[in-house]
């Protein structure tokens, strides 16, 4: 299985009203940090090599990862970290990790604040750059995606999105060479500065999913996810 980079360096400002004492990936859910549930979920899908891209409150997250590494259930799982001295944006953080770990082959990327029911195994089979797109009943919060065959043809702005549609789930398969034009240490967004160029060149594939999906970045959805976990994931998110 390909390695998984986890974007976990954000400030989580929208969630501060409910979770103010820990960074967003450590927000408590059913007695454990949110990211603990994510790691369990990713390991169950075959991931055994993690790279956590950290900045805000990095020592807290590193301490939790050290604790996880000592648990029998994670024996043989690699937990690596790279800490940004200054915020680099999603693209800059990934490039920084590509450089730090001297990566030359394809890898996966996921957000530390998003739950996706499945998709890791499908994305890991891709050979080109690809986004996992998930169907949601209301795409207005995220903005939707348009496709031509198996390629993404456009990103539709949030205000223009129709109610139902496919959205960017935050799970990607990427190749190191897409960052060749950027300088290590620079701050840039993969969503606004890398993906549009790939779309223009028809180099961004899509893997369509119909899975549970939620971003805990706002209080309403964080509480919704907490309840879903506490009830044993028996109903749809």
In a domain, residue 148? The reply is no
Q: What is the residue range of 27's domain?
A: 4-133+170-230
Judge whether 152 lies within some domain: no
The answer as to whether 101 is a domain residue is yes
* Residue for token pair 């900045």: 55
pLDDT of 10 reads: 79
* Digitized pLDDT (tens) for each residue of the chain, 237 residues in all: 999 999 998 775 777 676 666 788 899 999 999 999 999 999 999 999 999 999 988 999 999 999 999 999 999 999 999 999 999 999 999 999 999 999 999 999 999 999 999 999 999 999 999 999 998 887 777 778 999 989 999 988 765 656 788 999 999 999 999 999 999 999 999 999 999 999 999 999 999 999 999 988 889 999 999 999 998 887 777
pLDDT tens digits, 76-96: 999 999 999 999 999 999 999
Q: What is the pLDDT of residue 162?
A: 61
Residue 70 neighbours by CB under 8 Å, 6+ apart: none
- Provide the number of structural domains found in the chain: 1
Q: CA neighbours within 13 Å on the CB side: how many for 152? A: 28
C-alpha 60 chain-centroid distance: 19
Contacts 24+ apart (CB under 8 A), 67-73: 68/36, 68/39, 73/40
Classify residue 85: in a domain, yes or no: yes
Report whether 7 contacts 95 (CB < 8 A).
no
d(CA 47, CA 116): 14
Give the whole-angstrom CA distance, residue 193 versus residue 135. Answer: 24
Order of all β-strands in the sheet with 204-209: 78-83, 49-54, 4-7, 107-111, 165-174, 129-136, 204-209, 151-156, 144-148
pLDDT value at position 159? 59
CATH number at residue 177: 3.90.550.10
Residue 144 maps to a domain = no
Beta strands in the chain (DSSP E): 4-7, 28-29, 32-33, 49-54, 78-83, 107-111, 114-116, 129-136, 144-148, 151-156, 165-174, 204-209, 213-215
CB 237, CB 224: distance < 8 Å: yes
**161 lies in a domain?**
no
Residue 206 contacts residue 130 (beta carbons within 8 Å): yes
pLDDT, position 111: 94
Distance, CA of 26 to CA of 113 (rounded, Å): 9
* In a domain? residue 164: no
- Whether 141 maps to a domain, the answer reads no
Q: How far apart are CA 176 and CA 194, in angstroms?
A: 12
């Amino acid at each position: 299985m390909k390695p998984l980079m986890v974007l976990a360096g954000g400030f989580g400002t929208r969630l501060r009203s409910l979770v103010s004492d820990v960074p967003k990936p450590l927000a408590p859910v059913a007695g454990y940090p949110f990211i603990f549930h994510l790691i369990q979920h990713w390991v169950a899908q075959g991931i055994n090599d993690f790279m956590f891209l950290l900045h805000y409150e990095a020592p807290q997250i590193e301490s939790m990862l050290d604790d996880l590494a000592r648990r029998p259930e994670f024996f043989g799982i690699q937990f690596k970290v790279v800490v940004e001295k200054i915020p680099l944006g999603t693209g800059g953080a990934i490039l920084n990790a590509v450089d730090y770990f001297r990566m030359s082959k394809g890898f996966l990327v996921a957000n530390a604040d998003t739950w996706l029911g499945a998709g890791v195994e499908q994305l890991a089979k891709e050979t080109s750059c690809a986004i996992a797109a998930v169907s949601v009943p209301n795409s207005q919060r995220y903005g939707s995606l348009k496709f031509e065959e198996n390629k993404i043809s456009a990103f539709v702005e949030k205000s223009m999105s129709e109610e139902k549609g496919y959205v960017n789930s935050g799970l990607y398969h990427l190749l190191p060479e897409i960052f060749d034009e950027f300088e290590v240490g620079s701050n840039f967004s993969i969503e606004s500065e890398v993906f549009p160029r790939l779309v223009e060149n028809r180099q961004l594939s899509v893997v369509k999913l119909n899975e549970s999906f939620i971003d805990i970045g706002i209080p309403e959805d964080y509480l919704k996810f907490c309840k879903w976990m506490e009830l044993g994931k028996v109903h749809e998110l």
